Structure 1
């Protein structure tokens, strides 16, 4: 039995309980999702959370693997190149040429002495040739790390205060030992200061951190 409709004159439209009839055409009602929800309804919060958790876990795993690889690189012991006498070293602000290295037993207590030539390779006078705070060459006797050295000019034994551009100076690095060496190996590690044409703060040339550049080794005795 056909449902009774309500006809509107002049429009040709009749509204029925089973749908709409327009000029003899039947329009079906919208399809329903099997779950009883509309098909275009947004995904549930739980499903979106699961998708987000899955994607973020991949990013976290990748970041963790990258961090572990970097830690492994830091842990690896790398051998520094050996410095040689009369061969210049580029240390950033200065060029340094080791000339002699020995342990002097004439003084009490004995002194580890490095004689070297320093040259300012920048365009301005350097009041801190080894950076600020300074990163002096690090001396080691056996397993003992020595304190920072005194740096004196060879020409007058005065302390080194500054270096002028392209005016080399011969200096002496003096490390005081706690006692006479007992056949222990003495070594000196040199550090290079990184340089950047434009820093991130002022946008101008600046010296940054230091990194080990080379190592010089000498046994007990003379030059």
Structure 2
């Protein structure tokens, strides 16, 4: 689906720059992943797909989630590239590098958005710290949906999804990851599913206390 809502002259200019490779010289590189590179153009994010075109159908997912505030609005798509809103913020990888501690609300937002995708029959895949951004209002934005799946049977992916969230939480919080219980997703005809807390601030605090106690014991025994 081509959902062009930007200037046609821009689209023609972009097509020429991509065809000739000049986009690499004329536009700022925002990011690079397995499915392609993202450049800034006229305050938009332009994703140029890799040559084999194996992951250039992110437009289908974005069109299904066009109403969702966590995903960038899609403005144009064709075989070689697509144009989306540019997120004014930084990736969680950058946040983790620059901050001693990330906000747990970031992960809570990711969990919430994952559940909402699940309701729509969409299974989030390949969510990692470079595909997740936080804007200036501390809202999480999911900027790469190239590997998301749309399926009539999302429940068959619930174990994989739970494991992916667990790994993501560990990437964010490391040793002190309070992700203890598996979230159980259940799809039904009404689009609802079980929502169970996967962790709590209490379990997080207790894990920190146990770690500190262990460190004190180790220090005393070594002395």
Q: TM-score, normalised by structure 2?
A: 0.21
Which structure is higher in helix share? Answer: 2
Looking at CA atoms only, which structure, 1 or 2, has the larger radius of gyration?
A: 1
Higher relative contact order (CA 8 A, sep 6+): 1
Which structure is higher in strand share? Answer: 1
